[in-house]
Amino acid sequence: ATREVWDQEVVSENKDVYRVEYLTYCLLKSVEADPDQSLLSLSKLSDEELLAYIQKFMGPRYTEGYIKGVHDQDALLLLKSLLKIKPALGLLRYQSAARALAGLYWSYFCDPEIKTLFATKLSGFGSVMQVFPRTGQQQYYINELRQQLSQFVLQISCLDQTLVSEAAEYLFQELVHGSTFVISKRAADLYQDFEKYLKHNNAANQLTDSLSSTRENPINWFLLARDWVQAYLDYLDSEEDFDYLDEVALLLLDAKLDRSRLIDAIVTEQISGLSGSHARIRSGEYHLNFNRYSKRLAEFQSVNVPRFESYLSLKKEIVDQSRDAMRLDEFRPRVLTSFVRNRLLDEVYLPVIGDNLAKQMGEAGENKRTDRMGLLMLVSPPGYGKTTLMEYIANRLGIIFMKINGPALGHQVTSLDPAAAPNAGAREEVKKLNLSLEMGDNVMIYLDDIQHCNPEFLQKFISLCDAQRKIEGVYKGETRTYDLRGRKVAVVMAGNPYTESGEKFQIPDMLSNRADIYNLGEVIGEHADAFEMSYLENCITSNPVLNQLSSRSQKDIYTIIQMAEDGAGERGDLEGNYSVEELNEMVSTMKKLIRVRDVILSVNREYIRSAAQSDDYRTEPAFKLQGSYRNMNRIAEKVFSVMNDKELETLIVSNYENDVQTLTSDAEANLLKFKELMGILSEAELERWNAIKKSFRKNQQLKSVGGEDRMAQAILQLANVGEGLQDIRESMNAGIGRLTAEKDSNLDLYAKDFAERFQHLAESLHAIQAALTTGTKDVTTMFEQSIKTRSAQSESAQAGEASASTPDDRITVVNKIPRSLLNVLETQFDLMQGWMQPLVTSSHANQAEFKELKELVERCLKDYNALINRVDDE
């Protein structure tokens, strides 16, 4: 039902009606309906006043698509002609066909009783209208006449049903004024020319005879007269003359021309100087035919306008339903109110990201590339605003931001087919991805947290990110190949390469080769200052003291930062008005935030350094605490100028103490490492941290040899014994050095004897370490020989199975540590114990000085006894 208006752009214009015609038609109707206005008063306005009136009228009609300076000027020219023509027409303002319809019905088809009734009533009502010209009662009579005419039109198929309303109004006007039906000058001329033509061709009698034969049937009588006139108009071949067809036919029925009813008025005019563009305007000229103008616009307003409005309503309803079904509102980029466009963004991120998007989406100007390709990949730890940044850019570019959630996809999704997704969440994300491909233009495809995605899934984007710009997808169950060459489509991926020790962050090399990769969490080099500054800029909206700066000049932020750092900024550099108290409070708060920033930065660097390190090369537990913008903002919201250094330190530490609670068994090590970074480890915490690192290294060594190989463990144990002896030897040397350096002249013989015992013990330890070093090498050699022997044994066994004649002998290879090495170890340990025991006994007198040495010696003796027993068992 609305197909005819599908190509129509605005309600006021189609291929047959120029929007200025509709504007002037509505304006005239508005004037006629307003009792305080008239066409006469409007015609007396000057061009400037009339133009202002037109502009005021068209102002609120924004849906009709008028352009100021074009359509208002054209409307002025057309309206001036209409105001000149319409008042002079009188009743000729009604169309010729409508007047003919009213005259035909009233003269030949109206029931005499009804005719008398209407004539009497309307003649009297004419007196009422002279006193009250705008009375509403006239509409009642017009409706009655419309009903009569509607029934009449149904009897004659050639009559136009759309003319009934206009014919009823015309008939009402004729009856209330008591005058006869008017005749247009052009219709009278055509009637006379037609008679002359018939006489000239000796056909007048034929017309008279044919009409006489059908006179008894009024309908056929009129149809025959109409056929005669139509044949003549076809002969003339004048398009505008066909407008008078019914009126001339009615004159034929009357068989006479009453010149008293004739009105000679101009109904056409040629208007030039129009600026608009339409099929009815040729070289700036427009031909106005008032009757045709009125007919077209009446039909347009009664038929086309409601149809177009219905089409728009239906279209909006369908679009709203589709929008709700596709959840398009979710894909509109929304910038966070706390977003700060900082110096780092202006100087670093926007230039590099802009270059990449220009390569993907194209750029304006002569440097526009035709080979659009590429991929933007952003990596960083969580909390550095990767998603926020790209959503801001999408908002500024005015494109759809289609965010695909990597964790929702998971490692099970390897296809772009929603039906292959393992769960509803993953299926929804794949549908969103295919929807973005189906959109095909003005869209940013953003894959977030790709460390959770399967590399096979990421491989699907390889061809999309090269010059082909193609990808296979599935939309609504149908497979499609999307060709996005030349389209405004950007592909962005973001992830945290440090999550899960990097085990899941696997990017296909062919994809990374097509990508521009930027790490937002580690900006170094000439932009390091901007990166460090960004921590302060981003946290301003979170701090209650500095929040007012977010709505002020950005220059004030940098000035206050300078004042807080080195006092370089001056009050005169501030663009905003701040009291002395406010300024002092902001500077004091900024100083504390700078301290927080420095701690956060050190945590960030350590996190990245630790996360980028393989577990095989670690010398201490992995550091998992983060130092991102998110951590900075979380602390900044609790910082106030009245805090002292101790309170600030407590705030920072307590924040990270809360963070480590989620690390379970790694909580202690991470908190101690954090305190080491801050330089606030106590002696007990330092001792515990060193013990953790030592245990970690020992566990790393045990992991490297495995848990089942006893020989390898024995070798490792011997190596650890050597390291322990070296530690004791170093402690002995330090103790001897302190004793021999004593300058007290009253040093007694006990101290000298104790120093000599230390010296002998150190020599013994050195001998034991040398023996262990040699023994360890011997054991290693034996271990390698054992492996070779077992390999040879296996080969011999296989050969035996192949030969049936070979006897089945069992060969067992037993590897034991040489007795000579065991004797050496036992002798050296006995010797060492003989020297150590007096030291342990005598050290009770000097508990404070030799406590550490005592613990080392006792632990070492215990380990050595266990080692001797184990080696002996082997």
From CA 607, how far away is CA 628, in angstroms rounded?
A: 10
- Helix/strand/coil (H, E, C) string of 113-162? HHHHHHHHHHHHHHHHHHHCCCCCCHHHHHHHHHHHHHHHHCCCCCCCHH
pLDDT digits (tens, 9 = 90+) for 703-714: 765 555 555 555
608 occurs within a structural domain: yes
698 occurs within a structural domain: no
Weakest mean pLDDT among 314-323, 501-510, 731-740, 826-835: 826-835
pLDDT digits (tens, 9 = 90+) for 151-162: 988 888 788 888
Tokens of 553: 């000049």
Give 215's pLDDT tier (boundaries 50, 70, 90). Answer: confident
The answer on 158 and 91 residing in a single domain is yes
From CA 827, how far away is CA 848, in angstroms rounded?
A: 32
For residue 608, the model assigns a pLDDT of 87
The answer on 852 and 787 residing in a single domain is yes
Parallel, antiparallel or unpaired: strands 478-483 and 470-475? antiparallel
pLDDT digits (tens, 9 = 90+) for 444-468: 999 999 989 999 999 999 999 988 8
Which residues contact residue 299 at a Cβ distance below 8 angstroms, ignoring those fewer than 6 apart?
A: 162
For residue 731, the model assigns a pLDDT of 63
759 occurs within a structural domain: yes
- Secondary structure of residue 413 in the 3-state scheme: coil
* Cβ–Cβ < 8 Å for 54, 106: no
The last residue of one of the domains, among 519, 544, 559, is 519
The answer on 677 and 540 residing in a single domain is yes
Residue type, 351: P
In 564-581, which positions are buried (b, 16+ CB within 10 angstroms) versus exposed (e)?
Answer: beeeebeeeebeeebeee
Decide if pLDDT at 746 tops 50. Answer: no
The answer on 157 and 201 residing in a single domain is no
Give 814's pLDDT tier (boundaries 50, 70, 90). Answer: very low
For residue 791, the model assigns a pLDDT of 55
265 occurs within a structural domain: no
Tokens of 339: 């977003």
Going from the C-alpha of 622 to that of each of 203, 215, 503, 811, the distances in angstroms are 115, 113, 14, 47
For residue 56, the model assigns a pLDDT of 94
38 occurs within a structural domain: yes
The answer on 165 and 300 residing in a single domain is yes
Going from the C-alpha of 554 to that of each of 514, 538, 590, 691, the distances in angstroms are 37, 12, 15, 49
For residue 845, the model assigns a pLDDT of 46
From CA 489, how far away is CA 804, in angstroms rounded?
A: 74
Q: Alpha helices, DSSP H only, in 338-423?
A: 343-344, 350-361, 386-397, 406-409
* Cβ–Cβ < 8 Å for 607, 626: yes
From CA 187, how far away is CA 252, in angstroms rounded?
A: 11
Partnered with residue 480 across adjacent β-strands are 473
Mean per-residue pLDDT of the chain: 82
Structural domain harbouring 497:
330-519
Decide if pLDDT at 408 tops 90. Answer: yes
Decide if pLDDT at 211 tops 60. Answer: yes
From CA 633, how far away is CA 40, in angstroms rounded?
A: 72
Which of 109-118, 428-437, 718-727 holds the top average pLDDT?
428-437
Give 848's pLDDT tier (boundaries 50, 70, 90). Answer: very low
* Cβ–Cβ < 8 Å for 529, 536: no
Decide if pLDDT at 126 tops 60. Answer: yes
If one counts the domains in the chain, the total is: 5
From CA 521, how far away is CA 604, in angstroms rounded?
A: 8
The last residue of one of the domains, among 475, 490, 519, is 519
The answer on 174 and 188 residing in a single domain is no
* Cβ–Cβ < 8 Å for 248, 191: yes
For residue 743, the model assigns a pLDDT of 47
* Cβ–Cβ < 8 Å for 763, 836: no
The last residue of one of the domains, among 519, 541, 559, is 519
From CA 744, how far away is CA 24, in angstroms rounded?
A: 120
452 occurs within a structural domain: yes
From CA 92, how far away is CA 108, in angstroms rounded?
A: 21
For residue 502, the model assigns a pLDDT of 42
For residue 727, the model assigns a pLDDT of 63
Decide if pLDDT at 761 tops 60. Answer: no
The answer on 250 and 142 residing in a single domain is no
Which of 329-333, 420-424, 842-846 holds the top average pLDDT?
420-424
From CA 152, how far away is CA 171, in angstroms rounded?
A: 14
Instruction: Work out the average pLDDT over 252-276.
Output: 87
Residue of 733 and 598 predicted with greater confidence: 598
Weakest mean pLDDT among 43-57, 171-185, 559-573, 705-719: 705-719
Compute φ and ψ for 475, nearest 5 degrees: -125, 120
DSSP for 732-749, written as a single string: HHHHHHHHHT---TT--H
pTM above 0.75, yes or no: no
* Cβ–Cβ < 8 Å for 357, 378: no
The answer on 298 and 243 residing in a single domain is no
The answer on 280 and 131 residing in a single domain is yes
Contacts 24+ apart (CB under 8 A), 272-281: 273/77, 274/20, 274/74, 274/77, 275/70, 275/73, 275/74, 276/18, 276/19, 276/20, 276/70, 276/71, 276/74, 278/13, 278/18, 278/19, 279/15, 280/18, 280/21, 281/18
The separation between CA 73 and the C-alpha centre of its own chain, rounded to angstroms, equals: 42
The answer on 78 and 174 residing in a single domain is yes
State whether the Cα torsion 467-468-474-475 is positive or negative: positive
Give 81's pLDDT tier (boundaries 50, 70, 90). Answer: very high
Tokens of 225: 């007269």
Give 53's pLDDT tier (boundaries 50, 70, 90). Answer: very high
The answer on 635 and 499 residing in a single domain is no
The answer on 567 and 458 residing in a single domain is no
Helix/strand number for the chain, H first, E second: 32, 11
**How many residues are given for the chain?**
874
Terminal CA-CA length for the chain: 98
pLDDT digits (tens, 9 = 90+) for 239-259: 888 888 999 999 988 878 888
Closest CA relative to residue 270, chosen from 79, 95, 90, 81: 81
Cβ atoms within 10 Å, residue 86: 19
H/E stretch holding 457 reads helix 455-458
Residue of 813 and 266 predicted with greater confidence: 266
* Cβ–Cβ < 8 Å for 731, 853: yes
Weakest mean pLDDT among 477-491, 637-651, 735-749: 735-749
670 occurs within a structural domain: yes
Instruction: Work out the average pLDDT over 748-777.
Output: 55
CATH of the domain at 377: 3.40.50.300
Instruction: Work out the average pLDDT over 160-189.
Output: 87
701 occurs within a structural domain: no
* Cβ–Cβ < 8 Å for 511, 450: no
Weakest mean pLDDT among 244-248, 471-475, 546-550, 710-714: 710-714
- Secondary structure of residue 405 in the 3-state scheme: strand
For residue 363, the model assigns a pLDDT of 81
From CA 163, how far away is CA 246, in angstroms rounded?
A: 12
* Cβ–Cβ < 8 Å for 10, 63: yes
